[in-house]
Structure 1
Amino acid sequence: MPIITALEEFKSALAPRSRLLGLDLGEKTIGLALSDTLLTVATPMETLKRGKFSVDAAKLDAIIAAQGVGGLVIGLPLNMDGTDGPSAQSARAFARNFAARSPLPLAMVDERLSTAAVTLTLLDADLSRKRRALVVDKMAAAYILQGALDRLRHI
């Protein structure tokens, strides 16, 4: 299935009562978050260590099957001026590769400052640096997915 950029089109491609899986793609990790079947709440799930694409895709396939996922929301780390940098190009490549092998609808959403916002929240919660490092990626994925869910609710 092609990558969808308009959330209106994404919403119409989703199967009823299916969950969404949110991905925050980093250089070394992939943060994951899962929605409920009503598409109202995003919950941080886990952080995967990145490896070869085929290995990462196989891990995602297993999660998708086990959790009843009907669509993917991938964060797109645009530069502050809205242009693509190396991270955005990498995220687009991952999305293209995954979309080429999966029938699921896949949306890419702007994730500028998501990690910064989550880090501030974790600092306010007085988490240690070590604990923040363990949870920031899956929390960022939940932040990205929740933003998409909030926008989908108003469509």
Structure 2
Amino acid sequence: MPISALGLDVGKKRIGVAGCDGTGLIAFGIETIEHRSFNATLEQLQYLVTDRQVSVLVVGLPYAMDGSLGSQALQIQKFTIAIASKLNLPVEYVDERLTSFEAKEMLKAEGIPATRQKGLIDRKAAAIILQQWLDERRSSKHSASVCNEN
């Protein structure tokens, strides 16, 4: 069954956006949305949702190191609930602790200096968030099918 999910790394100024191949194996960065207003962001996301026939939004939540949700995570939840409601899509959350750091490290490994590459970092972080979700989904389906065989 084909998958069409949109991964979002939501920040105050920018939103990194990622998509995946139809098989749900590989996530990749699509674009970075400069967050100017709710309506402008909604319009850009609506275009992507329609164009890519998206069925779910996967959003990174910045949990605190102790696993609690801080004020930034609560603001992101409030924003994504409003966006998802307008787009008529379900939202699933993924723990995004350290994804920006991981994105910077990946760019460094690719020989791309991470300084002044904030949009690229946001897209890469969104891809990491979406990849995490895809991997978890695949492993839980595999576990379920293994359990069902017994």
Q: Same fold (TM over 0.5)?
A: yes
Larger Rg: 2
Q: CA RMSD in A?
A: 1.5
How far off its partner does 1:84 sit? 1.7
> Contact 1:75–1:109 at 8 Å: present in 2 too?
yes
Counterpart residue identity of residue 7, structure 2: G
How far off its partner does 1:129 sit? 3.9
Quick one: higher RCO (CA 8 Å, sep 6+), 1 or 2? Answer: 1
**Which residue does 1:85 correspond to in 2?**
70
The partner residue of 2:109 within 107, 124, 144 is 124
Distance 2:121 2:95 in 1: 18
Tell me the SS of whatever aligns to 1:108. Answer: strand
> Contact 2:61–2:73 at 8 Å: present in 1 too?
yes
How far off its partner does 1:89 sit? 1.4
How far off its partner does 1:154 sit? 1.4
The normalised TM-score by structure 2 is 0.86
Aligned pairs, how many?
140
Percentage identity across paired residues of the two chains: 34
The partner residue of 2:88 within 103, 107, 114 is 103
Structure 1, unaligned stretches of length 5 or more?
1-15
Structure 2, unaligned stretches of length 5 or more?
141-150
How far off its partner does 1:131 sit? 5.8
How far off its partner does 1:39 sit? 1.1
